[in-house]
Amino acid sequence: MYPLDTVLNYIKENNLINAGDTVICGLSGGADSCAMVSILNTLKETLGFSLICAHLHHGLRGQEADRDLAFAEAFADSLNIPFYFKKSDVAKKAKEEKLSLEDAGRQERYAFFRELEEKLENTKIATAHNKEDNVETILMHMISGCGLGGLKGIAPIAFGNIIRPILPLSRQDIESYCKEKGISYVIDSTNLETDFTRNKIRLKILPLLKEINPSVTDAIGSLSASAKSACDFLDSIISDISIISDNNSSYVFLEEIRKMNSCLIERLILKMLECAGLSCRLSKKIIENIYTLIKSGKTTKSVDIGSGILARISYDKFIIEKGKKSSPFSYNLTEAEPLNINGKKIFISYCPVENAIAVIPFEGKNNITVRSRKDGDKIRTGGMTKKLSDIYVNKKIDKTIRDTLIVIEYNGILLWAEKAGMADNCVSNEKYIVITWED
């Protein structure tokens, strides 16, 4: 009963699961995930939650991956737990997004979990990380040159609802539990290869460290706890800083953070990533580069954090965001067919429309182009012809959104540009180009 008591106490101490929750268990079919599902299935009546199991077929390892899927489904069925799976081409994602197979697989798994989460209520996502996984993670962070936060290792809960209920169990605890309960499991052959950094640490480095100190797992666990305490203290210092965020982006005002030291900057970056729903590993070098960027205040530079995430400065803001790619667009506008672009509806009318974003009079001949900006665009406004790019700079329009803004051209002349306004040329009132929010 030792693992059951340990996990139950750990769940309660860290408030991992509440009554009424639905726990989505990542079930690979290995010993860790099978033990986790078995333990949670035993505890669900006591804690009042329900379980489902989720398995991602990575499209790797051929028949072995098919075997894992079949085993995981049969295991969930044997416990009468609902089972969901998805097949993914992880190798393709890794190639297209220039990721390692490990990172691409992790992103696909969590994307699958999030898909399930959207269909359910009060969800928690449970992953089967254990005590050795935590030690391996800390060593990986140290080898890559981490900051203080990297020494914390794996948190019991992340992003609000990702939980690690068997984190206090060692691999030996898990294998003994499986043996005691008669739980069979599959072995991923790639776990025995040393092509991946984590496997090298698990199969070569940790055994050597245990020769020096048989209790090295507990020793590194103690370091992890100390690092967590230090990080919690630093987090309390930055708690008053306002982080404005939406999906895949967050920012703070530069003035609030210019005098921070690098330790606080590291904690701030991690908090901003979390607020934006983003995740990536921060090396000490990346933290130093961001620290230098903030101190310099240069808007012409950015720091690539990894996983397509950038840190940059835009006027008075320090921003962290998932890289955005904008494609040029150009459409002809006619009376017969309104346009819907970037959440806006654009159409031709014979009379003005109230509460519109813009109402632009024109001569009435239908030769109108609605497009994104081009190099060299000019618009006549306030009695002067000005470069559109200069107007955007003067108005401090974030350069990452400028290519998404709408420009309306009539017979080669700009009548209106989003964020810049209407041109002086708009004097006729035969017809109107009307822009409203999309229905």
Residue 325: predicted pLDDT: 61
The answer to whether position 135 is within a domain reads no
The answer to whether position 168 is within a domain reads yes
**Could you give phi then psi for residue 52, rounded to 5 degrees?**
-135, 155
Contact 149, 238 (CB under 8 A): no
370 plus 245 within the same structural domain: no
Distances in Å between the alpha carbon of 19 and those of 52, 102, 122, 328, 361? 15, 34, 10, 50, 61
Residue 60: predicted pLDDT: 74
Assign 260 a pLDDT band (cuts: 50, 70, 90).
Answer: confident
Flag whether pLDDT at 263 surpasses 90.
no
Per-residue pLDDT tens digits for 371-381: 989 888 888 88
Contact 132, 170 (CB under 8 A): yes
| E-only strand ranges, 243-282 | 244-246, 249-253
79 plus 111 within the same structural domain: yes
Distance CA 163, CA 39 (A): 14
Distances in Å between the alpha carbon of 418 and those of 352, 395, 409, 413? 18, 12, 12, 15
103 plus 251 within the same structural domain: no
Spatial neighbors of 313 by CB under 8 A, at least 6 apart, are 254, 293, 294, 297, 298, 299, 301, 319
Going by C-alpha positions, the residue among 326, 322, 306, 302 that lies closest to residue 314 is 302
288 plus 432 within the same structural domain: no
Element (H, E) at 305: strand 302-306
Contact 85, 105 (CB under 8 A): no
Assign 423 a pLDDT band (cuts: 50, 70, 90).
Answer: confident
Assign 301 a pLDDT band (cuts: 50, 70, 90).
Answer: confident
Distance CA 35, CA 134 (A): 17
SS3 state of residue 207:
helix
**Could you give phi then psi for residue 74, rounded to 5 degrees?**
-65, -35
Assign 51 a pLDDT band (cuts: 50, 70, 90).
Answer: very high
Which CATH number characterizes residue 44's domain? 3.40.50.620
Residue 300: predicted pLDDT: 67
Q: Which two tokens stand for residue 223?
A: 């370091």
10 plus 95 within the same structural domain: yes
The answer to whether position 370 is within a domain reads yes
Residue 177: predicted pLDDT: 93
Q: Which of 265, 288, 322 represents a domain boundary (last residue)?
A: 322
Flag whether pLDDT at 439 surpasses 70.
no
50-57 vs 22-26, strand pairing mode: parallel
State the average pLDDT over residues 248-265.
87
Per-residue pLDDT tens digits for 109-136: 888 888 888 888 889 999 999 999 999 9
48 plus 93 within the same structural domain: yes
Flag whether pLDDT at 168 surpasses 90.
yes
Residue 259: predicted pLDDT: 85
The answer to whether position 227 is within a domain reads no
Which CATH number characterizes residue 292's domain? 3.30.465.60
Flag whether pLDDT at 389 surpasses 90.
no
Q: Which of 285, 304, 322 represents a domain boundary (last residue)?
A: 322
364 plus 385 within the same structural domain: yes
Sheet-wide strand order for 330-333:
330-333, 368-371, 407-410, 413-417, 421-422
Assign 326 a pLDDT band (cuts: 50, 70, 90).
Answer: low
Assign 223 a pLDDT band (cuts: 50, 70, 90).
Answer: very high
Least confident interval from 52-61, 67-76, 96-105, 147-156: 96-105
The dihedral through the CA atoms of 309, 312, 318, 319 has a sign that is negative
Flag whether pLDDT at 385 surpasses 70.
yes
Distance CA 44, CA 294 (A): 48
Distance CA 191, CA 198 (A): 9
290 plus 389 within the same structural domain: no
335 plus 403 within the same structural domain: yes
The range of the structural domain enclosing residue 97 comes to 2-129+164-190
Flag whether pLDDT at 315 surpasses 60.
yes
Total domain count for the chain? 3
Residue 191: predicted pLDDT: 66
115 plus 11 within the same structural domain: yes
Q: Which of 322, 341, 357 represents a domain boundary (last residue)?
A: 322
Q: Which two tokens stand for residue 427?
A: 């004097």
429 plus 336 within the same structural domain: yes
State the average pLDDT over residues 63-69.
86
Residue 366: predicted pLDDT: 66
Residue 361: predicted pLDDT: 85
Flag whether pLDDT at 1 surpasses 60.
no
Distance CA 44, CA 50 (A): 6
User: What pairs with residue 317 in β-bridges?
Assistant: 253, 314
Distance CA 176, CA 173 (A): 5
Residue 39: predicted pLDDT: 95
Single pTM value for the model: 0.68
On the 0-12 / 13-18 / 19+ scale of CB atoms within 10 A, 212 is exposed
The answer to whether position 123 is within a domain reads yes
Residue 136: predicted pLDDT: 92
The answer to whether position 399 is within a domain reads yes
Percent of the chain scored above 70 by pLDDT?
95
The answer to whether position 46 is within a domain reads yes
Q: In the chain, what's the furthest Cα-to-Cα distance?
A: 88
286 plus 360 within the same structural domain: no
Q: Which two tokens stand for residue 399?
A: 């350069």
The answer to whether position 222 is within a domain reads no
State the average pLDDT over residues 157-161.
84
Residue 316: predicted pLDDT: 86
**Could you give phi then psi for residue 345, rounded to 5 degrees?**
-105, 130
State the average pLDDT over residues 322-348.
82
